[in-house]
């Protein structure tokens, strides 16, 4: 045992630093729904709140790959779609018991602009109605009447600017103001957010091209989220709080959660571009409970059907869990060798010297009818044929219940801790009970399980896999088989937290990690011979890393938990020259000329009306103009000329001049800018001249731009010399004369002729 | 007149310098990506861009390109983007006004079908088999008549997923370039055809443009512009057609009377249509029935993106080009919303990034082209208009309809009829200060069918893409050369000026249409024909190349070119970005 402990300690260290992931949970996951992004349900989460442990947070996300700058018609929830979150809390009833239904409406506040937001007005401005049913959908009551969907996070001019935009204090202020409290007490948010999911899409779908340095395909994309925070007593079917739970795995506290989107069956387009008319029955077009089911479990031939199928009525899809496609890529007798990205994951083919869980194999079927099963979940008396249906459905014993019924706290579904070596059917240490045998794809959460603090060193994005590892290997938890709270027992697949790396967890599960955790070890463990069940194969699975292990930003510590949507426009706004307002006077001409070491400025104006004076301003670099003199205005009706002599220009740098015209009321405007340079005569030299191929240019000036012109004055090449020298290769040009012009700060300062031989 | 030329010449180097800089700088809006509320919810049918240009490597042909499906993430699996079934994707060509405005002279119609070769996998490509594998039928119709099949089972290349899917034995065991080349079909009528995913050739600072005009100039070190479409793919339909097949009388350019021969003008637009009724079933299937309804269209870039306001966008998409319904949108060209942001008496001061663009309010001391002003209407009926396009005898009230439609004289014809080679639509070169006088010809893409189309005079020669004169500013580039370059500004006679084959005379893939259109809204075409900016005072200002004109010509709104190159031969558009490994670049 001591030896095992040492192994596990090493493993834990390893795991802590190698948290992991993969796939888009359900983004564009089926052919039809990929054509209907507004109704495309991408992810569902259900977790006990880390901010208020009396509450459960339900999150359903829609609309994949929202480009934050996707204007002018930024993404929003669709009208004519029912977005629903379903909660099943009672095995005695068929289907969901509580249903939250969101519907959305849009208005244009200013239909004369193509901008989404302008001058305080917003187009496609969206509000929602939230209805709730507590009788399985028989009747609904409105619990939020005019919920606000925050606008798209377009940018600083649209959101914060009080003149051209909405004048909000910040986007977060809009987001906070949009949080509603339902008449039944729930906190509610509906709006755009950072997509919390993370996955190496590019690798995963290139025939499983997983890589250790994966790229989060959803990074910097937004999605639309529905978030509801509900007291546990509202969800528990008898109204109980967790204080009334019999244990932290009390089976009465299990809920099943899934989300859907439905549209009316008939949509009729308007020939004149008017709103399409929707009619007919509501048809479910998208659904999601467990992540990745329709993405990577259901094959393409059945994906559209799966989306339309009613949860709890999905027997046609059982076969995909009993023999999952992904397992083919973790099995060297199938396509395993062709998918190196999953090479770390090999399913047990000879667990405990006897059991083969590869697709089409017998799994535990040979135990069927054996008295050893008595008292376990596998006994015929327990769940009939469900878990051991036939000799060719090896994963009916683990993947099927994880996805479709939840896992009961019964042998063999207890950790190997406390089980004698080679006896997976014995009683072990409890670690899960989210059993709600309604035979439907749902996220099943036992609400009685305490919350793991997000700041705890034990917190792990590997969820229940991590809890299993702790329960098997950590001295705090593996000393005996009694029920204890093990950190991350509140993680996927016991519900799903925003942080949970469900891709890795599911790939590990397909490769048999749950079987291993309950004592059906990997092939390289030989009972009585191998010193520890923590074999290289198991370590390989537990340290598997498919690329991206966490979201590309943080989460909020409290409601709505999901993060502010990425802003379309980031950084400083327009930075550039500001040209002029039309002047009360018209600057007809403005020239600056050298007079020895002084500069004479002359300007000609027309239309002087209520003009007071002119300020002459100079800028000797550094960008700041300072006043160097004043000339009183004459207010002549016709064209009038003024002049000013600047006695002290700087001689070693550029002098920029402009005239500020100030009218009697104090309003002012500016002339164009003129530049004068002294003493920059020999800023660069060239060699050789005449030249055959390459002209070398040397200068002491930093950031000098040199332009090569032909004799006709056409510019051929241009270079910025940052280091003091550079070259033009003119071998490709015809013989003749060429001209090199040097510019500094956009001003032409020296010209030299070159002869090409 | 001599004096005028001299003045222009003196300013030439200054302008050229500015202009050259401008070529390196520039740009801004997505042509028509997610541009109207309804179509933004139907990406498969969303027509994003249309191009029509004389092929740079084969000048006896014209290339027509229509793009669909905006913002395709290259790694957007497992169901990668493809053309929709149940959609008619069409490219429409008008080559004469006489056949009736509402009838296409030539229509190309693509329809697509998909098959799954292996329904047991969730991968798109596996072991040589491809799911959602797409083929197309291409049909052609003349004069609105029956359609004839010209490509029966065209191949759409698969998505460029990654090396395992495309190149290795677990995938297709090929390479993407070979696959793309092999997908080029030759129609029974002789056209070369390609339909498939490509790099989106459009470029724009989406984030800046739509944050109430928060453009970021190229070269701005504080916050560089971002091409919002960089590293995204789109689905493209490309057709290369001999000019003689598009010209109404079957002529080649050798038979053209001049490089601006009026008989060589075509108008091009594209559309997507769906059947009116969609029925979804409880078993997860969908069916379509009823009449075909146009749900998206595009001719001139940015029309529905930045000219038509949100209240009219869905309607605009539903109207067929050149039909009576078009006239309801005329008002948006006569007084464009963008004009408000280039006018300090309106919202001009509130949009600092466009402050280089100020519309003439007092051109030649008298003409005001700001929204709601008179423009040239004060000249109506004047004998000075005789012999010009503005005369009542020429086009009636169209160009000078009333005293409140200043841009009916420039933006309206650019978008709706094309511009004739008639006074005053000739360069100021040779005009001697009178904008109504005869000047140097530079455009003739007049096809007065009153519809939003890309109008191309096919007789105009091609500017080589490697020429030092090549400019992504298209016809604005040609106008600048015609006004200021010694090679072109010494006489008022017709000459080929480089970039006369660029937007808005057709549209090349390289053309920076966002900048050109913003310049056009700010009155640059008016300036080019001699209606100079406010700071030019005839008889007083030394040159019409004033600060205001320089500001417009050097205006810069963001990215000035695509994020990758173009192919030198058909289909010209570039290989799509590969999902597995394209490099990441900031998009906002």
Residues 244-273 of B with CB under 8 A from A: none
Task: Summarize pLDDT for B6-20 with one digit per residue, the tens.
Answer: 344 444 443 343 333
Q: Check A113 against B547: CB less than 8 A apart.
A: no
Angstrom distance (rounded) from CA A456 to CA A459? 5
Q: A371 falls in which pLDDT band (50, 70, 90)?
A: very high
Task: Summarize pLDDT for B56-111 with one digit per residue, the tens.
Answer: 999 999 999 999 999 999 999 889 999 999 999 999 999 999 887 789 999 999 99
Query: Encoding tokens for residue A402?
Result: 């994880």
Element (H, E) at A458: none
pLDDT at A743 over 90: no
Letter string b/e over residues B130-162, b meaning 16 or more CB atoms within 10 A of that residue's CB:
bbbbbbbbbbbbeeeeeeeebbeebbbbbbbbb
Angstrom distance (rounded) from CA B67 to CA B192? 17
In sign, the C-alpha dihedral spanning A347, A348, A350, A356 is negative
Letter string b/e over residues A605-615, b meaning 16 or more CB atoms within 10 A of that residue's CB:
bbebeebbebb
Task: Summarize pLDDT for B503-540 with one digit per residue, the tens.
Answer: 999 999 999 999 999 999 999 999 999 999 998 988 88
Q: Could you tell me which residues come within 8 angstroms of residue B93 by beta carbon, excluding any fewer than 6 positions away?
A: B64, B104, B105, B106, B107, B108, B246, B266, B267, B268
Q: Check B310 against A158: CB less than 8 A apart.
A: no
Q: How many CB atoms lie within 10 A of CB A729?
A: 11
With vertex at residue A240, the alpha carbon angle to CA A376 and CA A438, rounded to the nearest 5 degrees, is: 40
Quote helix, strand, coil % in chain B, to nearest 5.
Answer: 25, 20, 55
pLDDT at A604 over 70: yes
Question: In the prediction, which pLDDT does A676 show?
Answer: 81
Question: Does A606 lie at the interface with B, CB-CB under 8 angstroms?
Answer: yes
pLDDT at A3 over 50: no
Question: In the prediction, which pLDDT does A23 show?
Answer: 46
Q: A612 falls in which pLDDT band (50, 70, 90)?
A: confident
Q: What is the mean pLDDT of residues A346-369?
A: 97
Please provide the DSSP assignment of B438-487 as one string: --B--------S-S--EEEETTSPPPPTTSTT--TTHHHHHHHHHHH-TT
Nearest 5°: phi and psi at A201? Answer: -55, -45
Question: In the prediction, which pLDDT does A746 show?
Answer: 61
Nearest residue of chain B to residue A323 (CA atoms): B120
Looking up tokens 């849009």, which residue turns up?
Answer: A106
Angstrom distance (rounded) from CA A77 to CA A62? 8
From the list B105, B109, B43, the residue with the least C-alpha distance to B76 is B43
Q: Tell me which DSSP letter residue B384 carries.
A: G
pLDDT at A10 over 80: no
Three-state SS at B329: helix
Angstrom distance (rounded) from CA A242 to CA A162? 48
Question: Does B541 lie at the interface with A, CB-CB under 8 angstroms?
Answer: yes
Q: Tell me which DSSP letter residue B507 carries.
A: B
Question: Does A588 lie at the interface with B, CB-CB under 8 angstroms?
Answer: yes
Residue with more model confidence, A5 or B367: B367
Q: What is the mean pLDDT of residues A219-224?
A: 97
User: How far is A635 from chain B, CA to nearest CA, in Å?
Assistant: 19
Beta bridge partners of B194: B238
Q: What is the mean pLDDT of residues A159-177?
A: 96
First to last CA, chain A: 88
Question: In the prediction, which pLDDT does B26 show?
Answer: 30
Looking up tokens 């208009």, which residue turns up?
Answer: B385
Question: In the prediction, which pLDDT does B316 show?
Answer: 95
Q: What is the mean pLDDT of residues A170-184?
A: 98
Contact yes or no for A116/A154 (Cβ under 8 A): yes
Question: Does B76 lie at the interface with A, CB-CB under 8 angstroms?
Answer: yes
User: Minimum mean pLDDT among A22-36, A332-346, B312-326: which range?
Assistant: A22-36
Question: In the prediction, which pLDDT does B24 show?
Answer: 32
Question: Does B23 lie at the interface with A, CB-CB under 8 angstroms?
Answer: no
Q: A620 falls in which pLDDT band (50, 70, 90)?
A: confident
Task: Summarize pLDDT for A98-155 with one digit per residue, the tens.
Answer: 999 999 999 999 999 999 999 999 999 999 999 999 999 999 999 999 999 999 999 9
Question: In the prediction, which pLDDT does A572 show?
Answer: 79
User: Minimum mean pLDDT among A256-260, A496-500, A600-604, A605-609: which range?
Assistant: A605-609
Angstrom distance (rounded) from CA B481 to CA B440? 11
Question: Does B292 lie at the interface with A, CB-CB under 8 angstroms?
Answer: no
Nearest residue of chain A to residue B581 (CA atoms): A202
Q: A593 falls in which pLDDT band (50, 70, 90)?
A: confident
Question: In the prediction, which pLDDT does B582 show?
Answer: 85
Q: Check A588 against B73: CB less than 8 A apart.
A: no
Question: In the prediction, which pLDDT does A726 show?
Answer: 87
Looking up tokens 């009333």, which residue turns up?
Answer: B402
Query: Encoding tokens for residue A749?
Result: 């300062």
Contact yes or no for A601/A674 (Cβ under 8 A): yes
Q: What is the mean pLDDT of residues B417-442?
A: 96
Angstrom distance (rounded) from CA B55 to CA B238? 12
Pairing of strands B454-457, A277-288: unpaired
pLDDT at A654 over 60: yes
Q: Which of B290, B344, B350 sits opposite A581 (nearest CB)?
A: B344
Q: What percent of chain B has pLDDT over 90?
A: 80
Angstrom distance (rounded) from CA A174 to CA A190? 12
Long-range contacts made by residues B342-351, C-beta under 8 angstroms, separation at least 24?
Answer: B342/B521, B342/B522, B343/B370, B343/B371, B344/A581, B344/A582, B345/B370, B346/B370, B346/B371, B347/A119, B347/A164, B349/A581, B350/A163, B350/A164, B350/B212, B351/A164, B351/B212, B351/B213
First to last CA, chain B: 50
User: How far is A118 from chain B, CA to nearest CA, in Å?
Assistant: 7
- Biggest distance spanned by C-alpha atoms of chain B: 81
- Show the 3-state SS of A255-323: EEEEEEEEEEEEEECCCCCCCCEEEEEEEEEEEECCCCHHHHHCCHHHHHHHHHCCCCCCHHHHHHHHC
Task: Summarize pLDDT for B157-196 with one digit per residue, the tens.
Answer: 999 999 999 999 999 999 999 999 999 999 999 999 999 9
Q: Could you tell me which residues come within 8 angstroms of residue A623 by beta carbon, excluding any fewer than 6 positions away?
A: none
Query: Residue length, chain A?
Result: 757
Question: In the prediction, which pLDDT does A262 show?
Answer: 97
Query: Encoding tokens for residue B171?
Result: 């995938």
Q: Could you tell me which residues come within 8 angstroms of residue A13 by beta carbon, excluding any fewer than 6 positions away?
A: none
Residue with more model confidence, A676 or B417: B417
Q: What is the mean pLDDT of residues A547-575?
A: 92
Chain B residues touching residue A216 (CB < 8 angstroms): none
Question: Does A125 lie at the interface with B, CB-CB under 8 angstroms?
Answer: no
pLDDT at A14 over 70: no
Angstrom distance (rounded) from CA B43 to CA A84? 24
Q: Could you tell me which residues come within 8 angstroms of residue B349 by beta carbon, excluding any fewer than 6 positions away?
A: A581, B355
Element (H, E) at A159: helix A156-159
Question: In the prediction, which pLDDT does B222 show?
Answer: 75
Chain B residues touching residue A32 (CB < 8 angstroms): 284-286
Angstrom distance (rounded) from CA B267 to CA A145? 51
Q: What is the mean pLDDT of residues B567-578?
A: 98
Question: In the prediction, which pLDDT does A605 show?
Answer: 82
CA A393, A338, A299, A378: dihedral to nearest 10 degrees?
20
CA A532, A536, A539, A544: dihedral to nearest 10 degrees?
-170
Dihedral class, residue B162 (left if φ above 0, else alpha if ψ from -120 to 50, else beta): left
**pTM to 2 decimals?**
0.84
Contact yes or no for B51/B503 (Cβ under 8 A): no
Contact yes or no for A649/A599 (Cβ under 8 A): yes
Task: Summarize pLDDT for B217-257 with one digit per residue, the tens.
Answer: 776 667 888 999 999 999 999 999 999 999 999 999 999 99
pLDDT at B420 over 70: yes
Evaluate the omega torsion of the peptide bond into residue A72 and state whether it is cis, within 30 degrees of 0. Answer: yes
Task: Summarize pLDDT for B26-40 with one digit per residue, the tens.
Answer: 333 456 777 788 888
pLDDT at A18 over 70: no
Residues 343-362 of B with CB under 8 A from A: 344, 347, 349-353, 355-356, 358, 361
Angstrom distance (rounded) from CA B342 to CA A586? 18
pLDDT at A686 over 90: no
Q: What is the mean pLDDT of residues A539-552?
A: 92
Chain B residues touching residue A316 (CB < 8 angstroms): none
Q: What percent of chain B has pLDDT over 70?
A: 94
Counted across chains A and B, CB pairs separated by less than 8 A come out at 354
Three-state SS at A704: strand
Question: In the prediction, which pLDDT does A31 show?
Answer: 79
pLDDT at A28 over 80: no
Q: A576 falls in which pLDDT band (50, 70, 90)?
A: low
Q: What is the mean pLDDT of chain B?
A: 91
Residues 51-80 of A with CB under 8 A from B: 65, 67-73, 75, 78
Q: What percent of chain A has pLDDT over 70?
A: 92
Gyration radius of chain A's alpha carbons: 36
Residues 145-204 of B with CB under 8 A from A: 161-165, 168-171
In sign, the C-alpha dihedral spanning A460, A466, A471, A474 is negative
Three-state SS at A500: coil
Nearest residue of chain A to residue B167 (CA atoms): A206
Task: Summarize pLDDT for A417-466 with one digit per residue, the tens.
Answer: 999 988 999 999 999 999 999 889 999 999 999 999 999 999 999 999 99
Query: Encoding tokens for residue A221?
Result: 């994309």
In sign, the C-alpha dihedral spanning A62, A68, A70, A71 is positive
Angstrom distance (rounded) from CA B405 to CA B253? 37
pLDDT at A6 over 50: no
Angstrom distance (rounded) from CA A647 to CA A599? 7
Q: How many CB atoms lie within 10 A of CB A329?
A: 27
CA distances from A746 to A594, A656, A670 (A): 19, 12, 20
Contact yes or no for B554/B23 (Cβ under 8 A): no
pLDDT at B4 over 50: no
């Amino acid at each position: 045992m001591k030896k095992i402990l040492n192994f596990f300690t090493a493993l834990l260290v390893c795991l802590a630093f190698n948290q992991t992931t993969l796939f888009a949970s359900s983004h564009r996951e089926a052919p039809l729904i990929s054509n209907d992004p507004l109704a495309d349900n991408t992810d569902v989460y259900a977790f006990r709140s880390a901010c208020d442990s009396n509450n459960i947070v339900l999150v359903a996300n829609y609309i994949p790959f929202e480009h934050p700058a996707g204007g002018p018609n930024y993404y929003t929830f669709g009208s004519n779609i029912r977005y629903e979150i379903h909660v099943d809390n009672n095995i005695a009833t068929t289907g969901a018991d509580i249903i939250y239904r969101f519907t959305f409406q849009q208005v244009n506040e200013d239909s004369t602009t193509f901008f989404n937001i302008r001058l305080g007005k917003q187009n496609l401005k969206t509000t929602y109605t939230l209805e709730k049913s507590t009788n399985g959908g028989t009747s609904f009551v409105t619990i939020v009447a005019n919920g606000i969907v925050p606008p798209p996070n377009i940018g600083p001019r649209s959101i914060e600017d009080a003149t051209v935009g909405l004048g909000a204090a910040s986007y977060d202020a809009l987001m906070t103001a949009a949080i509603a409290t339902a008449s039944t007490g729930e906190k509610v948010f509906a709006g755009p957010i950072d997509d919390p999911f993370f996955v190496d899409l590019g690798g995963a779908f290139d025939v499983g091209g997983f890589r250790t340095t994966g790229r989060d395909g959803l990074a910097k994309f937004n999605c639309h989220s529905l978030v509801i925070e509900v007291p546990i007593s509202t969800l528990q079917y008898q109204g109980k709080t967790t204080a009334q739970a019999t244990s932290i795995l009390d089976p009465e506290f299990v809920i099943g959660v899934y989300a859907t989107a439905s549209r009316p069956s008939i949509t009729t387009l308007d020939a004149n571009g008017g709103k399409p008319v929707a009619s007919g029955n509501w048809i479910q077009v998208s659904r999601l409970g467990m992540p990745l089911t329709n993405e990577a479990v259901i094959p393409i031939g059945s994906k559209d059907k799966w989306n339309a199928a009613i949860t709890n009525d999905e027997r046609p899809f059982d076969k995909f869990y009993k023999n999952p496609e992904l397992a083919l890529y973790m099995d060297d007798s199938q396509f395993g060798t062709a998918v190196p990205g999953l090479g770390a994951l090999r399913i047990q083919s000879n667990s405990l010297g006897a059991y083969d869980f590869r697709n089409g194999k017998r799994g535990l079927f040979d135990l069927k009818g054996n008295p050893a099963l008595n008292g376990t979940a596998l006994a015929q008396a327990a769940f009939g044929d469900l878990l051991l249906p036939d000799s060719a459905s090896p994963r009916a014993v683990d993947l099927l219940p994880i996805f479709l019924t939840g896992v009961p706290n019964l042998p063999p579904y207890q950790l190997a801790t406390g089980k004698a070596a080679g006896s997976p059917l014995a009683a072990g240490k409890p670690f899960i009970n989210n059993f709600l045998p309604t035979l439907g794809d749902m996220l099943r959460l036992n609400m009685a399980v305490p919350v793991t603090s997000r700041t705890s060193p034990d917190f792990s994005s590997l969820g229940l896999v991590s809890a299993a590892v702790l329960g098997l290997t950590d001295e705090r938890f593996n000393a005996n088989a009694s029920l204890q709270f093990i950190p991350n027992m509140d993680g996927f697949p016991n519900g799903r937290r925003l942080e949970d790396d469900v891709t890795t967890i599911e790939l590990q599960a397909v490769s048999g990690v749950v079987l291993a955790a309950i004592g059906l070890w990997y092939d390289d463990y030989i009972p009585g011979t191998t010193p520890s069940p923590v074999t290289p194969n198991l370590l390989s699975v537990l340290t598997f890393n498919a690329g991206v292990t966490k979201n590309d930003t943080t989460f909020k510590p409290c409601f709505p938990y999901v993060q502010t949507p990425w802003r379309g426009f980031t950084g400083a706004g327009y930075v550039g020259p500001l040209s002029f307002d039309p002047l009360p006077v018209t600057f007809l001409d403005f020239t600056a000329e050298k007079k020895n070491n002084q500069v004479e400025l002359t300007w000609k104006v027309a239309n002087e009306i209520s003009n007071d004076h002119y300020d002459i301003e100079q800028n000797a670099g550094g960008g700041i103009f300072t006043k160097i003199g004043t000339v009183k205005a004459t207010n002549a009706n016709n064209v009038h000329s003024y002049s000013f002599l600047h006695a002290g220009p700087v001689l070693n740098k550029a002098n920029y001049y402009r005239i500020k015209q100030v009218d009697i009321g104090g309003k002012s405007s500016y002339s164009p800018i003129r530049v004068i340079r002294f003493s920059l005569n020999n800023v660069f030299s060239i060699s050789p001249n005449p030249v055959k191929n390459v002209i070398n240019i040397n200068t002491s000036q930093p950031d000098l731009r040199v332009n090569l012109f032909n004799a006709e004055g056409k510019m051929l090449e241009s270079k910025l010399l940052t280091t003091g020298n550079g070259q033009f290769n003119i071998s490709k040009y015809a013989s003749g004369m060429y001209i090199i012009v040097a510019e500094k700060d956009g001003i032409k300062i020296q010209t030299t002729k070159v002869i090409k031989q | 007149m001599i004096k005028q030329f001299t003045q222009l010449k003196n300013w030439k180097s200054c302008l050229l310098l500015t202009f050259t800089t401008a070529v390196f700088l520039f740009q801004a809006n997505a042509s028509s990506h997610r541009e109207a509320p309804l179509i933004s919810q139907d990406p498969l049918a969303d027509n994003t861009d249309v191009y029509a240009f004389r092929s740079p490597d084969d000048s006896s042909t014209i290339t027509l390109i229509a793009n669909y499906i905006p913002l395709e993430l290259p790694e957007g699996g497992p169901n990668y983007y493809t053309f929709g079934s149940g959609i008619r994707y069409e490219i429409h060509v008008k080559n004469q006004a006489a056949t009736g405005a509402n009838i296409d002279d030539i229509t190309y119609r693509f329809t697509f079908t998909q098959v799954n070769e292996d329904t047991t996998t969730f991968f798109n490509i596996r072991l040589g088999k491809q799911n959602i594998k797409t083929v197309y039928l291409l049909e052609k119709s003349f004069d609105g008549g029956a359609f004839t099949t010209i490509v029966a089972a065209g191949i759409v290349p698969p998505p460029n997923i990654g090396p395992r899917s495309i190149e290795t034995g677990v995938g297709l065991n090929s390479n993407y370039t070979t696959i793309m080349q092999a997908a080029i079909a030759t129609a029974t009528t002789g056209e070369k055809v390609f339909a498939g995913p490509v790099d989106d050739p459009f470029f724009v600072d989406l984030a800046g443009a739509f944050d109430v005009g928060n453009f970021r100039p190229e070269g701005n070190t504080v916050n560089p512009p971002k091409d919002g479409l960089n590293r995204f793919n789109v689905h493209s339909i490309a057709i290369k057609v001999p000019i003689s097949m598009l010209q109404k009388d079957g002529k080649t350019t050798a038979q053209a009377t001049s490089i601006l021969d009026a008989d060589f003008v075509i108008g091009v637009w594209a559309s997507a249509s769906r059947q009116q009724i969609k029925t979804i079933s409880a078993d997860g299937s969908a069916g379509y029935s009823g009449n075909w309804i146009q749900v998206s269209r595009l001719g001139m870039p940015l029309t529905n993106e930045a000219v038509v306001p949100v209240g009219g966008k869905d309607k605009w998409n539903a109207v067929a080009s050149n039909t009576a319904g078009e006239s309801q949108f005329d008002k948006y060209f006569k007084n464009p919303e963008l004009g408000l942001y280039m006018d300090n008496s309106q919202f001009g001061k509130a949009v600092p990034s466009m402050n280089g663009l100020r519309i003439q309010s007092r051109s030649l001391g008298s003409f005001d082209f700001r929204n709601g002003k008179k423009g040239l209407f004060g000249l109506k009926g004047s004998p000075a208009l005789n012999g010009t396009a503005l005369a009542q005898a020429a086009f009636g009230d169209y160009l000078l309809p009333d005293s409140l439609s200043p841009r009916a004289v420039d933006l309206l014809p650019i978008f709706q009829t094309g511009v004739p080679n008639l006074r005053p639509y000739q360069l100021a070169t040779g005009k001697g200060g009178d904008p109504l006088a005869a000047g140097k010809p530079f455009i003739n893409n007049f096809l007065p069918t009153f519809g939003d189309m890309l109008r191309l005079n096919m007789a105009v020669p091609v500017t080589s893409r490697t020429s030092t004169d090549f400019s992504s500013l298209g016809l604005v580039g040609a106008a600048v050369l015609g006004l200021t370059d010694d090679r072109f500004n010494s006489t008022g006679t017709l000459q080929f000026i480089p970039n006369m084959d660029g937007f808005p005379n057709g549209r090349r893939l390289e053309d920076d249409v966002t900048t050109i259109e913003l310049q056009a809204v700010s009155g640059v075409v008016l300036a080019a024909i001699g209606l100079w900016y406010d700071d030019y005072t005839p008889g007083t200002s030394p040159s019409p190349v004033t600060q205001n004109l320089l500001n417009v010509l050097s205006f810069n709104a963001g990215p000035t070119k695509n994020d990758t190159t173009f192919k030198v031969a058909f289909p010209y558009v570039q290989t799509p970005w590969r999902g597995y490994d394209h490099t990441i670049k900031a998009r906002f």
